[in-house]
């Protein structure tokens, strides 16, 4: 089994299974402005917005991992609970929710089974606190 690139909950992304080719991470910061006469606007930091991560990758289900990999991603998303995200280097990136799973299929085998599946996964950082998570369990 290949070493994980990233682990989200129970799901592992790796070169041998669902390998992402692109990862983009975005963090936004809020600044309120107040107009002033004869001067630049006054700015006040009001907090952060939720971080997002977008993963774009390819699965070759007949090479390794099988056809059920995207179904497992959708199953985790449908649980409706925040999931720990851990990098392949062991860094704990916090709790994240799956906002969307998009699938594309190409190159079909007999019976219509795809030999190539593309996926886009959109994650959002969860900062709702442990009490809310424990209420899910």
4-136 CATH choice from 1.10.1760.20, 3.30.70.141, 2.40.30.200, 2.60.40.10? 2.40.30.200
Domain-wise residue ranges, the chain: 4-136
pLDDT higher than 80, residue 99: yes
pLDDT tens string 62-82 = 877 778 888 988 998 998 899
pLDDT tens string 25-60 = 999 999 999 999 999 999 999 998 889 999 999 888
Strand positions, DSSP E, the chain: 4-8, 11-14, 19-26, 29-36, 39-48, 52-59, 83-87, 92-108, 114-125
- Give the 3-state secondary structure of residue 75: helix
Q: Does the model's pTM come out above 0.95?
A: no
pLDDT higher than 90, residue 133: no
**Can you give the pLDDT at residue 8?**
93
């Amino acid at each position: 089994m290949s070493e994980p690139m990233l682990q989200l909950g129970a799901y592992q992304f790796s070169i041998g299974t669902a390998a992402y080719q692109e990862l983009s991470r975005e963090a936004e910061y809020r600044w309120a402005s107040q107009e002033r006469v004869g001067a630049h606007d006054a700015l006040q930091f009001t907090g952060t917005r939720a971080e997002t991560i977008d993963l774009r990758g390819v699965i070759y289900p007949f090479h390794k991992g099988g056809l059920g990999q995207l179904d497992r991603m959708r199953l985790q998303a449908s649980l409706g609970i925040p999931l720990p995200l851990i990098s392949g280097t062991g860094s704990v990136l916090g709790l994240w929710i799956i906002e969307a799973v998009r699938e594309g299929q190409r190159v079909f085998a007999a019976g219509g089974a795809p030999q190539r599946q593309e996926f886009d996964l959109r994650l959002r950082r969860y900062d709702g606190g442990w009490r809310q998570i424990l209420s899910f369990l």
